[in-house]
Chains A and B, each alone.
Chain A
Amino acid sequence: MRKVRAGQKTAKADPAPSRWAYRFERLMLTPVFRKVLRVGLPFVATLLLGLAFFSDEQRRDAVVLGLADLRAEFEQRPEFMVKLMAIDGAGGEVAEDVREIVPLDFPLSSFDLDLERIRADVTGLEAVKAASVQVHSGGILQIDIVERQPVAVWRHYEGVELVDGEGVAFKALESRKARPDLPLLAGEGATDALPEALSLIGAAQPVAARLRGLARIGERRWDVVLTRGQKIMLPEERPVQALERVLALDAARDLLARDVAVVDMRLAGRPTLRISEEAVKQRRKARAIEVGTEQE
């Protein structure tokens, strides 16, 4: 009964959306309008707010400054600080040079380090063959250096220098006597044919005690210079074999012990000896004596 009574109240009009509510809902159901509302409006609003905020010079500067501060603060955190530099694999002199060439004021943020550039600088030193630069944990800038190892002393008209296995002259010496343990090379272009020179020195082992050094002649061939001004002139082609021939002759006939000034091996088919002037005189004298006794 209650229900029926409730249903009887029909005088009130049925609910219906008003014209404007209807229109508004239709507008809200329009896909383009909805997209504009959802994407376009926030975008434009944010843009306008941003532009309004940044139109003031002072606020712009403040924001830029704040960002820079934030960045600096982050970079200056203790985890990123480098406190010291460790150089491994370099002798005192080279290490000194490296410290000179990498002038850093520690402590320093690792963001400020340009490791690649430091490496390039260090490798640019002539005494350094290779280098690796790392920032280790604990704030250590680790520079590992492979030094050049000298294999010979090179004398040219500007002075005396050490040469490593690759033919790079890397360190000037006061005099040749500073490194008497190394063989001496001389002449322009001597370092370009370094492997050949080293094999020649190896082949000249039997006369090592008398070996003064090798001289590059005309940037194309070698002379082996011995004590007493003796010289073995070697050809361009196959110089080691030519030297071995001379040494074999020396072993058999004691050639180099005699008063020979030059052994000329430049023409393989015609080895030539030049004897010293004193020897020539002696020989003439000896011959004259021989001739005189025969005449008498």
Chain B
Amino acid sequence: MIEVYETQRAMRSMRRAAMQRGVVAILDVGSSKIACLVLRFDGSDVLGDGTAAMAGQAGFRVIGAATTRSRGVRFGEVETMAETERAIRTAVQAAQKMAGIRVDHVIACFSGGDPRSYGLVGEVDVAGSVVSEDDVSRVLSACDVPEIGQGRDVLHAQPVNFALDHRSGLSDPRGQMGSKLATDMHMLTADSACVQNLVHCVRRCDLELAGICSSAYASGHAALVEDEQELGAACIDMGGGATGVSIFIKKHMIYADSVRLGGDHVTGDISMGLQVPMSTAERIKTFYGGVVATGMDDREMIDIGGDTGDWEHDRRAVSRTELIGIMRPRVEEILEEVRVKLDAAGFEHLPSQQIVLTGGASQIPGLDGLASRILGQQVRLGRPMRVQGLPQAATGPGFASAVGLSLFAAHPQDEWWDFELPVDRYPARSLKRVVKWFKDNW
């Protein structure tokens, strides 16, 4: 765990350096597109008209935005390094050009890597009568780490809850009287190879990685409004190759998972079902797609075309009902899988069961009706929050994780590595230990 701590701390200091320079890039590496936003931090948490910081949207401004088709990514994981690198280069260069400034630090997010959530519990006796920062560090270190398996990396480790003696639900126990401090921590791990591949791609573009994040977490930040995050809600980020699920309560993510199914599978079904190329299938899906067929749709014929030279083949047409008949089972399957994940997480026990659908694939007409049948009554379609300077083209639900990542960049949540390591966990003969001893004794 020490290595995780060190690498994450290194990324944090990188992020701080980027904030000091005032420019940082956001990179959303998705299966269908790679989006890059360039943020400028002007240091003011107040908007021009005297409005105070609004849920973290103030304090930065998007000065460059670019997207490009993602080529080497499947299921949210890097599949072809060179292609991914080229795509990242394209996106970063275009965003830099729009911003007119060079960026060196990048915060990236990805949806693959089979994320797994763990709930950790730690408990220590408070050293003095009052909880100090050192006690918080100790209790975080005292969490018993479960077996996360070989070749997995910790992406997030956030203290969700603190309990002091019999009182639970504390967000900041420092300075309170008590004798026994306990904490609940949420840890998210991902496949280490996926993370390393992404890191390598970013490095090859001469960029420094200032943070890495799960896109389920980022889109939850962007798509859930404040009271949903507080009362409990699930964010379903339906991407191209993977669908992310994240559950929030009390403004903390308590669970995240992903389903390796997404909009690309729907396109694939259309392509196979109608015998058309993927690009035509994608076009037909976005223009005529849907999940609820009506009588009207029987009469709406869609030319699906082709350029074989065979007149009969090239003049084919299908009714929209047929198209919906192809799409619906796949969408249902995705939602069923999500349902399974939510059930596994115990979502039904949450006080509020709001479900927010976001991501590019959530734009299928009629999806909210279908989702409310499968997932529960409280379903809405979510778009990312508005942030300053975001171009109109980048305000759709497909940019939820990019926008969420910029909010995260501006106001990161406390993670385990944001706290000082307790003294006894330092490596032996550490200089810090000496300094600490001097501080404590003089």
Does any Cβ of A come within 8 Å of B352's Cβ? no
Q: A8-B279, A16-B87 are in contact. Are A26 and B102 (CB under 8 A)?
A: yes
Contact B303 A8 (CB under 8 A): no
Residues of B close to A29: CB separation below 8 A: 96-97, 100-102
Contact A14 B69 (CB under 8 A): yes
State A19–B207 Cα separation when bound (angstroms): 13
For residue B27, give the distance in angstroms from its CB to the closest CB of chain A.
14
For residue A238, give the distance in angstroms from its CB to the closest CB of chain B.
90
Does any Cβ of B come within 8 Å of A31's Cβ? yes
Residues of A close to B100: CB separation below 8 A: 29
Does any Cβ of B come within 8 Å of A7's Cβ? yes
Does any Cβ of A come within 8 Å of B71's Cβ? yes
For residue A10, give the distance in angstroms from its CB to the closest CB of chain B.
6
- Chain B: residues with Cβ within 8 Å of the partner, total of 26
A25 partner, pick from B86, B97, B307, B314, beta carbons under 8 A: B97
- Chain A: residues with Cβ within 8 Å of the partner, total of 19
B90 partner, pick from A5, A8, A17, beta carbons under 8 A: A17
Does any Cβ of B come within 8 Å of A291's Cβ? no
The digit string for A16-30, where 1 denotes a CB below 8 A from any CB of B, is: 110100110110011
Contact B277 A8 (CB under 8 A): yes
Does any Cβ of A come within 8 Å of B206's Cβ? yes
Does any Cβ of B come within 8 Å of A229's Cβ? no
Does any Cβ of A come within 8 Å of B205's Cβ? yes
A to B CB contacts below 8 Å, 7 in the list: A4-B283, A14-B68, A14-B71, A15-B90, A16-B87, A22-B205, A29-B96
Does any Cβ of B come within 8 Å of A1's Cβ? yes
Given contacts A4-B307, A26-B93, 7 further A-B contacts (CB under 8 A): A8-B279, A10-B277, A17-B93, A19-B89, A22-B89, A22-B93, A29-B100
Residues of B close to A5: CB separation below 8 A: 305, 307
Contact A16 B90 (CB under 8 A): yes
Q: Which residues of A contact B (CB under 8 A)?
A: 1, 4-5, 7-8, 10, 13-17, 19, 22-23, 25-26, 29-31
State A122–B136 Cα separation when bound (angstroms): 98
Q: A22-B205, A29-B100, A30-B102 are in contact. Are A8 and B280 (CB under 8 A)?
A: yes
Contact B206 A31 (CB under 8 A): no
Residues of A close to B71: CB separation below 8 A: 13-14
For residue B427, give the distance in angstroms from its CB to the closest CB of chain A.
37
Contact A26 B206 (CB under 8 A): yes
Residues of A close to B280: CB separation below 8 A: 4, 7-8
B96 partner, pick from A4, A7, A8, A26, beta carbons under 8 A: A26
For residue A4, give the distance in angstroms from its CB to the closest CB of chain B.
4
Q: A1-B303, A15-B90, A23-B206 are in contact. Are A10 and B279 (CB under 8 A)?
A: yes
For residue A179, give the distance in angstroms from its CB to the closest CB of chain B.
93
B279 partner, pick from A7, A17, A26, beta carbons under 8 A: A7
Residues of B close to A16: CB separation below 8 A: 68, 86-87, 89-90
For residue A38, give the distance in angstroms from its CB to the closest CB of chain B.
14
* CB closest residue in chain A, given B99: A29
State A267–B302 Cα separation when bound (angstroms): 145
For residue B71, give the distance in angstroms from its CB to the closest CB of chain A.
6
State A220–B87 Cα separation when bound (angstroms): 112
Residues of B close to A19: CB separation below 8 A: 89
Residues of A close to B278: CB separation below 8 A: 10
Residues of A close to B307: CB separation below 8 A: 4-5, 8
Residues of A close to B87: CB separation below 8 A: 14, 16
For residue A36, give the distance in angstroms from its CB to the closest CB of chain B.
14
* CB closest residue in chain B, given A10: B279
* CB closest residue in chain B, given A5: B307
* CB closest residue in chain B, given A19: B89
A31 partner, pick from B69, B92, B101, beta carbons under 8 A: B101
Residues of B close to A25: CB separation below 8 A: 93, 96-97
Residues of A close to B69: CB separation below 8 A: 14
State A16–B66 Cα separation when bound (angstroms): 13
A1 partner, pick from B68, B89, B314, beta carbons under 8 A: B314
The digit string for B94-129, where 1 denotes a CB below 8 A from any CB of A, is: 001100111000000000000000000000000000
